[in-house]
Amino acid sequence: MKVGKCFHRKILNPCSLEAHNYQVDPYIGCEHLCHYCYALNKVETDWGKEILIHENFVKRLTEEISSLNSEDIYMGMNSDPYQASERTFKQTRKALEVFAQSGFSASVLTKSGLVTRDIDLFEKMPESSVGVSLAFQEEQTRQLFEKNAPSNEERIDALRRLKSAGIPTYTLICPVMPFITDVESLIELVAPYSNKVWIYRLEMKSTEDQNWQNIESILNQNFQELTEKYRKIAFSGDHPYWRQLRQKLEELQSKKYLNLQIRL
Ligand code: SF4
């Protein structure tokens, strides 16, 4: 993997998620190469060959947060903060150190067990939380859609270790792939180690987008009977498939007193 430098781009950026004003991507590009990733629609480099890191990262991040009051910063919006290069470059760890020293906290989303390396820093920031995302219950299917990401086993083990250390945890089941993702079985797997479980549907915007083209090609090769169904379901939040699944999960939530955040 070639790692290039990025000199002038802002590190701290506005965040559109609930409860967060700002987000930081320590890397530009993501080695996990999930074929459904929305960030693939706006890539600047070939993520399979090159990612970028910010030059003078600590100095610039410290300056950029200096005008803010302490708050929780989201990490994991357009790239995974714990992708393989983090073992070498430690950009995410450096960002967490800056936050901890400045009275900030971080809400981190990852697919990697490497996140447990930084438990010491999360412990210093009690407002922090750590989540893992997953979307497939079978390893073989997972590998079709998430080329280089770590296994579910690694992610769930990370959740377990974080929870035992007293760090607030969450799971993001995303994207729910119609007729492929078994949401209920994934909830059962992660619920013991997650304070909250978020569930987001597969949401495609345009047939021209790279992520849709990737998904369509995987379906054509492996689940041919699903391609036409996806053309209808993945582009419409009103489709009966989502309504029925939503209802089923709401029933499960009240029956088992689960803390689910259903966004289907
Ligand atoms: S880990 Fe997240 S950011 Fe990275 S490719 Fe997968 S979905 Fe995209």
207-216 pLDDT, tens digit per residue, is 999 999 999 9
Axis crossing angle, helix 57-65 with helix 91-102, rounded to the nearest 10: 30
Q: Calculate how far, in angstroms, residue 245's C-alpha sits from the geometric centre of ligand 1.
A: 24
Distance separating alpha carbons of residues 235 and 227, to the nearest angstrom:
12
pLDDT of residue 18: 83
198 pLDDT above the threshold of 90 = yes
Query: Distances in Å between the alpha carbon of 132 and those of 48, 107, 129, 191, 243?
Result: 22, 11, 10, 12, 25
Q: Which of 32, 40, 43 to mutate to test the pocket of ligand 1 (most atoms within 8 A of CB)?
A: 32
Name the pLDDT band for 111 (thresholds 50, 70, 90): very high
- Going from the Cα of 43 to the center of ligand 1, the distance in angstroms, rounded, reads 12
Quick: pLDDT tens for 46-82: 998 999 999 999 999 999 999 999 999 999 999 999 9
**pLDDT score of 136 more than 90:** yes
Q: Between the CA of residue 84 and those of 32, 87, 105, what are the distances in Å?
A: 8, 6, 23
Q: What is the percentage of the chain residues whose pLDDT exceeds 70? A: 100
* pLDDT (0 to 100) of residue 203: 97
Does 88 have pLDDT greater than 90?
A: yes
DSSP helix/strand/coil, 212? helix
- Taking the C-alpha atoms of residue 251 and residue 245, their distance in angstroms, rounded to an integer, is 10
**Nearest Cα residue to atom 7 of ligand 1:** 37
Please identify, by atom number, the ligand 1 atom nearest to the C-alpha of residue 38.
8
| Residues with a CB atom less than 6 Å from ligand 1 | 30, 32-34, 37, 39, 79-80, 111, 149
CA of 40 to the centre of ligand 1 (A): 9
Kindly state the average pLDDT of the residues 236-241: 97
Q: In sequence order, what are the beta bridge partners of 129?
A: 107
Q: Confidence band (pLDDT; 50, 70, 90) for 236?
A: very high
Number of domains in the chain: 1
What is the 38 CA–ligand 1 centroid distance (Å)?
8
Tell me the residue ranges of DSSP E strands in 80-164.
Answer: 105-110, 129-134
pLDDT of residue 244: 97
Average pLDDT, the chain: 97
pLDDT over threshold 90, residue 44: no
E strands present in the chain? 2-6, 12-14, 22-24, 27-28, 50-54, 72-75, 105-110, 129-134, 169-176, 196-201, 260-263
Rounded average pLDDT over 172-180: 98
245, with CB counted inside 10 A (0-12, 13-18, 19+), is: buried
Task: Find the mean pLDDT for residues 102-112.
Answer: 98
Chain centroid to Cα 201, Å, comes to 13
What is the CATH classification number for the domain harbouring 89?
3.80.30.30
Q: What CA–CA distance (Å, rounded) separates 103 from 100?
A: 5
Predicted pLDDT of residue 23: 98
Domain that holds residue 108: 2-263
pTM, to two decimals: 0.96
